[in-house]
Structure 1
Amino acid sequence: MRLGIFAKTFAGSDPGTVLAASKAAGFACVQYNMACSGLSAMPDALSAQDVAAVSAARKASGVAIAAVSGTYNMIHPDPAVRAKGLARLEVLLRNAAAMGTAMVTLCTGTRDAEDQWRHHHDNGSSEAWSDLMVEMDKACALAEPLGIKLGIEPELANVVNTAARARLLLDTLQSPALAVVLDPANLFEVATPADQRDLLSRSVDLLADRTLMAHAKDRDASGGFATAGKGVVDFPHFLGRLRAAGFDGDLVTHGLAAEEAAGVAGYLGRVLADL
């Protein structure tokens, strides 16, 4: 597994600075965010210079672009907001290959109109699911001819909130563009060690055939997020199950401060070495 980090962990508004910092901290790849180019995370347009700068920084640093973040609220209650998000996603999809990546990551969304990462009681409704199927089908139609993967991530606050829901989405749409990003800390808040390991095992088994990236952040004992290796997530178990299932994709950490990055790279590297 190749170790990576969210590029936005590091300060900087040009890709060269951010990728150099990622390499110095011990990472071989990043999940890039256009904010690291001094742009909106979901820009309305990208110039040839914007795209070339990312590619040049990738080549100069030797740090690969594992994916580009393309998250917008895919089930926002306002269809006009969804349409604007889809148009911006298309911008990223059409430029992803030139930046050096074959994946753009998504947010399956929430009915919360203000925060795409906040739970809403209507997320479990049939209407929310139907809206997601329509929106995701549009995204797949854009991605498929370009050969770009769409990374979907089970996330408790979103409409795809379990591995089972992710599996249902994959089986319903049956698009070759869809891939899974699996983050153990997004699958539970508080669980006993035994229950956590069981949940992670079942999630890996259910999604292994479509999992192209794993994320590494942690949970503290009260259910809040924590830096990988400083919480309760059993990373040896999670990564061991991934490896046993044949996963050899990128392991990308996030939810940490820049000054913690080198330590996290060391921790995750040791876990992988011990497997």
Structure 2
Amino acid sequence: MRLGIFAKTFAGSDPGTVLAASKAAGFACVQYNMACSGMAAMPDALSVQDVAAVSAASRASGVAIAAVSGTYNMIHPDPAVRAKGLVRLEVLLRNAAAMGTGMVTLCTGTRDADDQWRHHPDNGSAEAWADLLDEMGKACALAEPLGIKLGIEPELANVVDTAARARALIDTLQSPALAIVLDPANLFEVATLTDQRDLLTRSVNLLADRIAMAHAKDRDAAGGFATTGKGVVDFPHFLGALKAAGFDGDLVTHGLAAEEAAGVANYLGRVLADL
């Protein structure tokens, strides 16, 4: 597995700066965010120069672009907001390959109108699911001809909140563009070690044929997020389950400060070496 990090962990508004910092901290790839190019994460347009700057920085640093973030609220209660997000997603999809990646990551969304990462009780409704199928279907229709994967992540606050819901989305839409980004810390808040291990194993096995990237975020004992390696997530078990399932893709960490990055790279490197 190749070690990666969210590029926006590091300060900077040009790709050369953030990719050099990623390399110095010990990472071989990044999940890129257009904010690292000094623009909106979901820009209305990208110039040839904007795109070339990312690919050039990748070549110069030796840090690969594992994916580009294309998150918007796919089940926002206002259809106009969803429509604007889809237009911006298409901008990223059409430029992803030229930036050096084959995947754009998504947010399956929430009915919360203000925060795409905040849970809403209506996320479990039939209407929310229908809106997701409609919106994701449109995204797949854009991605498939381009050969770009759409990275969807089970996330407790979103409409796809479990591995089972992710499987249902994949099986319903039957699109080759759909891929899974699996983060162990987004599958539970508080769990015993036994329950956590069982959940992680079942989730990996259920989604194994579609897992294109793994995330490495951690949780503390109270259910809050923690720096990778400092919390309760059993990374040896999680990564062992991924390896047993045949996964050999990118392992991307986030939710940490820049000054913690080198330590996290060392920790994850040791866990991988022990496998």
The TM-score bracket by the shorter chain reads over 0.9
1:15-50 C-alpha deviation (Å, 9 max, x unpaired): 000000000000000000000000000000001110
Is 1:114 paired with 2:114? Answer: yes
| Whole-angstrom distance in 2 between the partners of 1:270 and 1:59 | 27
Q: How does 1:150-165 map to 2 (within 5 A)?
A: 150-165=150-165
Alignment RMSD, CA only? 0.2
The residue aligned with 1:247 is 247
The residue aligned with 1:199 is 199
Is 1:21 paired with 2:5? Answer: no
| Whole-angstrom distance in 2 between the partners of 1:19 and 1:207 | 30
Residue type at the aligned position of 1:157: A
TM-score norm. by structure 2 comes to: 1.00
What's the CA shift for 1:87?
0.2
SS in 2 for 1:128: helix
Q: Which runs of 4+ in 1 moved over 4 A?
A: none
What's the CA shift for 1:58?
0.4
TM-score norm. by structure 1 comes to: 1.00
Is 1:149 paired with 2:149? Answer: yes
SS in 2 for 1:232: coil
| Whole-angstrom distance in 2 between the partners of 1:191 and 1:70 | 31
SS in 1 for 2:239: helix
| Whole-angstrom distance in 1 between the partners of 2:107 and 2:125 | 17
What's the CA shift for 1:94?
0.2
| Whole-angstrom distance in 1 between the partners of 2:79 and 2:163 | 26
| Whole-angstrom distance in 2 between the partners of 1:157 and 1:241 | 24
| Whole-angstrom distance in 1 between the partners of 2:208 and 2:21 | 31
1:27-80 C-alpha deviation (Å, 9 max, x unpaired): 000000000000000000001110000010000000000000000000000000
| Whole-angstrom distance in 2 between the partners of 1:187 and 1:55 | 33
| Whole-angstrom distance in 2 between the partners of 1:55 and 1:199 | 38
| Whole-angstrom distance in 2 between the partners of 1:174 and 1:106 | 17
SS in 1 for 2:70: strand
What's the CA shift for 1:251?
0.1
The residue aligned with 1:51 is 51
Is 1:85 paired with 2:85? Answer: yes
The residue aligned with 2:220 is 220
SS in 1 for 2:262: helix
Q: How does 1:68-83 map to 2 (within 5 A)?
A: 68-83=68-83
Q: How many residues align?
A: 275
SS in 1 for 2:151: strand
Gaps of 5+ in 1: none
Over the matched positions of the two proteins, sequence identity in percent amounts to 89
The residue aligned with 1:103 is 103
What's the CA shift for 1:161?
0.0
Gaps of 5+ in 2: none
SS in 2 for 1:44: coil
| Whole-angstrom distance in 1 between the partners of 2:237 and 2:267 | 14
| Whole-angstrom distance in 2 between the partners of 1:225 and 1:68 | 23
SS in 2 for 1:230: coil
The residue aligned with 1:3 is 3
| Whole-angstrom distance in 1 between the partners of 2:248 and 2:192 | 28
Residue type at the aligned position of 2:149: K
